[in-house]
Structure 1
């Protein structure tokens, strides 16, 4: 069953301690940027009708940006909890849980204003005419902190890429990292990917689906990959770091074009808060895991960590990597989308020093 997303409780003493800790971390890691002490305001959800881009709602002088309220390791939630939106004119307006495959399409139409999903989904959306752009780099893959991990049952007999022919692989969506990084790797090892059955399974359900033999291999993203690492029946074969050295692991944040044009200062607020939160997570991995464990109601030992690009400044090689893959897969015409079409660092206050 999908994990229910618990609301983060308001606990003034812990919140004050976290903000103090986060302020010190931000001051050291972000050139002395300090947190302001204004309190956040609560607001309602923003609705839209007829599939048209929703009108941005304001609460007082706060610009409310629409964002999914999903059970995940996500910098918007952490930035909010750490107080990085305080003292700005911007705040998140959580609009409920949204299935991973729907996030980028909804950013592209303006149903939500920001979303975090992998680069190939953004490229494909732009190629189809969607109005969105990557504004912050987001997560990265390290050997000790992969973006995604590959698991099989210990009794499956699957140990090599060729063993997967005729088997079923579960991942969280088509068109993203799990599909394209995996297919590229398997083809490099002589596997006929047309002989593999690929099915969509949400990350939080992937481990159980594998254990119950409904899939033969599960590709699971953090934080839920930690639970599979600790499952007695399963064994990890690879991580995405093993497959491509982490080049395909950038998980960026994208924004709807209309929101960018109408609210550039709000975009700067969001990107700055994301960058501060990402740097804080990199410097405080255990404290970050504790916050995520509370949010998704998971035992701390099962919560995998995330790593983030320094200052969340976007670089071009991870984008070109996916443009090349999409072209080789016949999903993107040559010249249809260039790297510069996909991203901007204009709203990142730390980009100029990188």
Structure 2
């Protein structure tokens, strides 16, 4: 990957990224084309991730989605892009960092979160890594440095901004910390080749990089935020209204899959995901899957709580990205379709 292929931005473009994504969502977006009985369409269009197996893909393979089938329409490397695609009807559901979801909803996007799907815990966290010989030790050392992450306006950039603010950096200093969008599959390589100073890594890509050696974390989101569910799957409100049975089947299936990953031996989970990835024929490398540890979802069955959204709503208000008091946390999500919310999950 050449340096010219990396797209850079300052914090100002982080603001623009979220704003453009939000204002691009028309309220009367397409409704989707999947056919089915009233209240229960049987096909859900979605985007995947290169080299990874998503919870919906795993749920489908386990048979946990019932008669609901997934239709892959392509890959994404961006949660904000994924939920924007759901908001505009290009796909039927999408998943993203909850801060990005809040931003879209605050701008009028007719979407609702139905279940958490990834987060931070002791096994699965968002870490900001440097090479062992790097002089970067703390927050002020990041001024003027290039930080690579999978997308702009997502989890990594929000965590970075919050970390810098909590450590006393001014807005002017934070704007000198340059965030760069780098595909997850090449972030480690970009760090080792000196194209970026810091790499935001999580999940299987983080574990693969750690196993290769020569890197160390500057900070982790788990260190100052603890365990939390960071992202959720969303549907358009009109889709939910037309297809409550589908949303219920999807949500229950994902919830059951989350618990399956908790109770199943890690080697078995990895083997299952590897089989799925190889069988789908998308010309991908399955090597990174061997480093999978956890989905990091905080609540049982992916049940959502106010905390999952309030941290980021407050932060968005503080940095002026949404008007204070405009967003009511309880309006952002529903647990109506999750059997674990009422103790019905097994």
TM value normalised by structure 1: 0.79
Segments of 5+ residues of structure 1 without an aligned counterpart are 2-50
Instruction: Give the drift of 1:300.
Output: 4.8
The answer to whether the aligner puts 1:91 opposite 2:69 as a matched pair is: yes
Question: What SS does structure 2 have at the residue aligned with 1:95?
Answer: strand
From 116, 136, 156, the counterpart of 1:137: 116
For residues 217-228 of structure 1, the aligned pairs below 5 Å read 217-228=198-209
CA distance in structure 2 between the aligned counterparts of 1:302 and 1:268, rounded to whole angstroms: 31
For residues 237-256 of structure 1, the aligned pairs below 5 Å read 237-247=218-228, 249-256=229-236
**Could you say which residue in structure 1 is the equivalent of 2:35?**
58
**Could you say which residue in structure 2 is the equivalent of 1:344?**
334
Is the contact between residue 29 and residue 87 of structure 2 (CA under 8 Å) also seen in structure 1? no
CA distance in structure 2 between the aligned counterparts of 1:291 and 1:149, rounded to whole angstroms: 26
For residues 192-271 of structure 1, the aligned pairs below 5 Å read 192-247=173-228, 249-271=229-251
CA distance in structure 2 between the aligned counterparts of 1:185 and 1:214, rounded to whole angstroms: 23
Is the contact between residue 132 and residue 255 of structure 1 (CA under 8 Å) also seen in structure 2? yes
For residues 12-91 of structure 1, the aligned pairs below 5 Å read 52-58=29-35, 63-71=42-50, 72-85=52-65, 88-91=66-69
Instruction: Give the drift of 1:225.
Output: 1.2
The answer to whether the aligner puts 1:154 opposite 2:125 as a matched pair is: no
Question: What SS does structure 2 have at the residue aligned with 1:68?
Answer: strand
The answer to whether the aligner puts 1:325 opposite 2:315 as a matched pair is: yes
**Could you say which residue in structure 2 is the equivalent of 1:283?**
263
CA distance in structure 1 between the aligned counterparts of 2:164 and 2:54, rounded to whole angstroms: 29
**Could you say which residue in structure 2 is the equivalent of 1:189?**
167
Instruction: Give the drift of 1:304.
Output: 4.6
The answer to whether the aligner puts 1:168 opposite 2:149 as a matched pair is: no
CA distance in structure 2 between the aligned counterparts of 1:62 and 1:347, rounded to whole angstroms: 16
Is the contact between residue 75 and residue 274 of structure 1 (CA under 8 Å) also seen in structure 2? yes
From 285, 295, 303, the counterpart of 1:306: 295
331-340 or 227-236, larger mean C-alpha shift: 227-236
**Could you say which residue in structure 2 is the equivalent of 1:122?**
101
CA distance in structure 2 between the aligned counterparts of 1:73 and 1:236, rounded to whole angstroms: 26
Segments of 5+ residues of structure 2 without an aligned counterpart are 2-27, 278-284
**1:249-295, Cα deviation, whole Å (9 max, x unpaired):** 42211112221111000000000000000000111233223333452
Is the contact between residue 181 and residue 244 of structure 1 (CA under 8 Å) also seen in structure 2? no
Change (3 A) 1:153 1:64: same
* Cα root mean square deviation, aligned: 2.1
**Could you say which residue in structure 2 is the equivalent of 1:31?**
none
**Could you say which residue in structure 2 is the equivalent of 1:37?**
none
How many matched pairs? Answer: 301
